[in-house]
Amino acid sequence: MTQAASSHIDDARAKRNVAVLVAAQAILGAQMPMIFTIGGLVGAMLAPNPCWATLPISLIVFGSMTTAPWLSPLMQRRGRRFGFVLGALAAALGAAVAAYGIYVDSFLILLAGSYLTGIYMSAQGFYRFAATDVASDDFKPKAISYVMAGGLLSAILGPQLNKLVQDAFVITFLGSYLAIIALNLIGVLLFIWLDLPKGSRKSPLPKDLGEVRTKKQLLSDPTIMVAMIVAMVAYALMNLVMTSTPLAVVGCGYDVGNAADIVSAHVLAMYIPSFFTGHLISRFGVKPIMSTGLLILTGAGVSALLGVQFADAGQPSLVSFYAGLILLGVGWNFGFIGATSMLATAHAPHERGAVQGLNDMMVFGCVTVASLASGSLMNCSGGDPLQGWAAVNLFMIPFLALAGGALIWLTFRPKSVA
* Claim to verify: residue 182 and residue 222 sit in the same structural domain: no
- Do 95 and 224 belong to one domain? no
Q: Return the SS3 of 106.
A: coil
* Alpha carbon separation from 175 to 27, 160, 181, 339, 371 (Å, rounded): 17, 13, 10, 37, 26
Q: Are 33 and 166 in contact (CB under 8 A)?
A: no
If asked whether residues 230 and 148 sit together in one domain, one would say no
Mean pLDDT of 375-391: 79
**pLDDT value, residue 159:** 78
pLDDT at residue 238 greater than cutoff 50: yes
Give the model confidence (pLDDT) of 19-45 as tens digits: 999 999 999 998 988 887 777 678 878
Which pLDDT score, from 0 to 100, does residue 324 have? 95
Whether residue 369 is contained in a domain is answered as: yes
Q: Are residues 140 and 242 in the same domain?
A: no
Question: Residue 247: is its pLDDT beyond 80?
Answer: no
Highest mean pLDDT: which of 150-164, 184-198, 319-333, 371-385?
A: 319-333
Q: pLDDT at position 382, please?
A: 67
pLDDT in tens, 68-121: 888 988 988 888 999 999 999 999 999 999 999 999 999 999 999 999 999 999
In this structure, is residue 146 part of a structural domain?
Answer: yes
Q: Tell whether 220 and 347 lie within a shared domain.
A: yes
pLDDT tier, 205 (very low <50, low <70, confident <90, very high otherwise): very low
Distances, alpha carbon 192 to alpha carbons 100, 263, 323, in Å: 30, 34, 42
- Residue 207 pLDDT > 90, yes or no? no
Q: Does 204 map to a domain?
A: no
Asked whether residue 31 falls in the same domain as residue 147, the answer is yes
* 96-105, 160-169, 265-274, 344-353, range with greatest mean pLDDT: 96-105
Contact between residue 288 and residue 348 where contact means Cβ atoms under 8 Å apart:
no
Q: Where residue 413 falls among pLDDT bands split at 50, 70, 90?
A: confident
Q: What is the pLDDT of residue 280?
A: 92
Q: How far apart are CA 289 and CA 298, in angstroms?
A: 14
pLDDT tens per residue, range 58-69? 899 899 889 988
pLDDT digits (tens, 9 = 90+) for 276-316: 888 899 899 999 999 999 999 999 999 999 998 887 767 88
Evaluate if residue 7 carries a pLDDT over 70. Answer: no
pLDDT band at 5 (very low <50, low <70, confident <90, very high): very low
Same domain membership, residue 171 and residue 242: no
User: On the CB side of 10, how many CA atoms lie within 13 Å of its CA?
Assistant: 3
1 falls within a domain = no
CA distance from start to end of the chain: 20
Residues 62 and 153 in one domain: yes
Is a pLDDT exceeding 50 seen at residue 352?
Answer: yes
What is the number of domains present in the chain?
Answer: 2
Task: Examine the domain organization and report whether 62 and 127 are in the same domain.
Answer: yes
Residue 208 falls inside a structural domain: no
Average pLDDT, the chain: 85
pTM > 0.85: yes or no: no
Query: How confident is the model over 125-137, as pLDDT tens digits?
Result: 889 888 888 888 8
| Residue-number span of the structural domain to which 95 is assigned | 11-195
* Domain identity same for 341 and 374: yes
Higher-confidence position of 248 and 336: 336
Q: Tell me, yes or no, whether 184 and 223 share the same domain.
A: no
For residues 172-191, give the mean pLDDT: 94
Longest dimension (CA), the chain: 70
- Residue 416's pLDDT is 54
State what percent of residues in the chain have pLDDT above 90. Answer: 39
CATH number at residue 241: 1.20.1250.20
Tell which of 162, 195, 228 closes a domain. 195
Q: What span, in angstroms and rounded, lies between the C-alpha atoms of 33 and 69? A: 24
The mean per-residue pLDDT over the stretch 227-233 comes to: 95
CA–CA distance, 150 with 162 (Å, rounded to integer):
18
- 168 and 301 co-located in one domain: no
Report pLDDT for 417.
47
Q: Is residue 288 part of a domain?
A: yes
> What pLDDT sits at residue 196?
82
Share of the chain above pLDDT 70, in %: 92
- Average pLDDT for 244-259: 78
User: Residue 168 has what DSSP assignment?
Assistant: S
Asked if the structure places residue 149 within a domain, the reply is: yes
